[in-house]
Structure 1
Amino acid sequence: MKPSYVVTGAAGGIGRACVAELIRRGAHVWASVRTDADEAELERAYGDAVTVLRMDLRDADSVARCGERVATAGPLRGLVNNAGVARPGPLEHVPLAAFREQLEVNVTGQLVVTRAMLPALRRAESARVVTIGSIGGRIAGPMVGPYHTSKFALVGLTDSLRAELAPEGIRVVLVEPGAVATPIWPRARAAAEEVRERLPPAALERYGDQLAAAERSAARSARTGVPPRRAAETVVRALTARRPAPRYLVGRDARLAAALANLPFRWRYHLTAAKR
């Protein structure tokens, strides 16, 4: 029987690359998406090797139904918590609804999915939960505060899950990529432009340069980030290694940022502060 894995956010980017890599290695993948077009594209590309789950991390009932469906089918070797969003803007002006959505998807949603899949994971030997975090969960900068907040919170969530599930032999791993060339960056850049349009004149004068720098950074990440396949290979290694590491960095920029995160706080804050 083929090993079975769930991958959330499988429509593109790292999630889609994980689906491709797992299937290439002979696995069956439950791939979560939200639209008819994405479902049809996955089925066209992978046929019976993939089973599509229609799941919205903000809808606990839809996640619970998917968990029951997966558990009924048999043991689940691993879960890849990949789905996420990025909401940019100065924290002083980010709409609270957008801030809450950032946490709902990137933090609470990961827990909701993990809880739904635990019955199936407990039926497998050496099951794994691999969550896609970010180097943005170690070091934070301006204009992406909601995203950084969610990724820092994800570190605590993952560490606690790792401790709690250890007695059952379920390994919990955090993968921390730097810039990966995925659609999240063009979407974040477009969102930053929308934020700029909504800002009152005084706020635009105060934060305009920082927003412009964030937009340039997003464009650079989309252009120079590592390919999603690189991150997917790391995810699959975490899913299949006999003794996976608790954390994996992906990309040279992630390793550099991890080193910066170990600097004394005063130095780190000086390096990450916005400049006039």
Structure 2
Amino acid sequence: MKPSYVVTGASSGIGRACVAELVRRGAHVWASVRTDGDEKELDRAYGDAVSVLRMDLRNAESIAECGARVAAAGPVRGLVNNAGLARPGPLEYVPLAAFREQLDVNVTGQLAVTRAMLPALRIAPVARVVTVGSIGGRIAGPMVGPYHTSKFALVGLTDSLRAELAPEGIEVILVEPGAVATAIWSRAREAAEEVRATLPPAGLERYGEQLAAAERSASRSARTGVAPRRAAEVVVRALTTRRPAPRYLVGADARLAAVLASLPFRLRYRLTAAKR
């Protein structure tokens, strides 16, 4: 019987690359997407090797239904918590509804999916939860405050889950990529343009240049980030290696940022502060 894994956010980017790598290794994948088009594309590409889950991390009912469906089908050896979004903008002006949505998807949604999949994980001979975080969960900068907040929270969530599930032998692993060349950067640029259009004149005067710098950074990340396949290979290694590390960095920029995060606080904050 093929080993089964669950991958959220499987329509593109790291999630889609994880699906491809797991199928290549002979696994069956439960892949979560939100749209009809994404479901049809996965069906065309992988056939019976992939079972599509229609899941929205903002919808508790859809998560519970997917968890029940997976558990009814049998054991699952691994869950990849990959789905997420990025909301840019100055924290002084980011709508609180958008801030809540960022945390709801990137933090609360990850916990809800993990809880829903635990029954299937518990009946597997070996079970792991691999969460795709970010180096942005170690070091924060301007104009991406909602995203950084969610990724810092994800570190605490992952560490607590690791401690709580250890007695059952379910290993919880955090993967921390730097820039990965995915559609998240183009979506972030579009969102930044929308934020700029809604800022009052005083806000634009205070934060306009910081927003422009963030947009340039997003464009650079889209061009120079590592391929999603590289991140997926690390995720699959964490799922399948005999003794996985608790954390994995992905990309030279992630390794550099990890060093920066270890610097004394005053120096770190001086290096990451916005410049006039």
Q: Which category of TM-score, normalised to the shorter sequence, fits these structures? A: over 0.9
Q: Tell me what 2:266 maps to.
A: 266
Matches within 5 A, 1:152-171: 152-171=152-171
User: Which amino acid is 1:2 matched to?
Assistant: K
The one-character-per-residue Cα deviations of 1:178-228 (angstroms, maximum 9, x if unpaired) are: 000000000001000000000001110110000000000000000000000
Q: Tell me what 1:84 maps to.
A: 84
- 1:10 aligns to 2:10 (yes or no): yes
Which SS does the other structure have where 1:32 is aligned? strand
User: Which amino acid is 2:192 matched to?
Assistant: A
**d(CA) in 2 for partners of 1:200, 1:255:** 38
TM-score by length of structure 1 reads 1.00
**d(CA) in 2 for partners of 1:125, 1:136:** 33
**d(CA) in 2 for partners of 1:227, 1:102:** 24
Matches within 5 A, 1:101-116: 101-116=101-116
CA apart distance, 1:159: 0.0
**d(CA) in 2 for partners of 1:217, 1:47:** 38
User: Which amino acid is 1:88 matched to?
Assistant: P
User: Which amino acid is 2:62 matched to?
Assistant: S
- 1:257 aligns to 2:257 (yes or no): yes
User: Which amino acid is 1:6 matched to?
Assistant: V
TM-score by length of structure 2 reads 1.00
The one-character-per-residue Cα deviations of 1:61-118 (angstroms, maximum 9, x if unpaired) are: 1100000000000000000000000000000000000000000000000000000000
CA apart distance, 1:244: 0.4
5+ residue gaps in structure 1? none
Q: Tell me what 1:31 maps to.
A: 31
CA apart distance, 1:274: 0.2
Which SS does the other structure have where 1:234 is aligned? helix
Which SS does the other structure have where 1:114 is aligned? helix
**d(CA) in 1 for partners of 2:142, 2:20:** 34
Q: Tell me what 1:46 maps to.
A: 46
- 1:234 aligns to 2:234 (yes or no): yes
Q: Tell me what 1:121 maps to.
A: 121
**d(CA) in 2 for partners of 1:159, 1:76:** 21
5+ residue gaps in structure 2? none
**d(CA) in 1 for partners of 2:272, 2:92:** 18
* Runs of 4+, deviation exceeding 4 Å: none
CA apart distance, 1:255: 0.1
Q: Tell me what 2:248 maps to.
A: 248
Which SS does the other structure have where 1:38 is aligned? helix
CA apart distance, 1:24: 0.2
- 1:69 aligns to 2:69 (yes or no): yes
CA apart distance, 1:126: 1.8
**d(CA) in 2 for partners of 1:12, 1:39:** 12
**d(CA) in 2 for partners of 1:50, 1:150:** 29
**d(CA) in 1 for partners of 2:46, 2:80:** 18
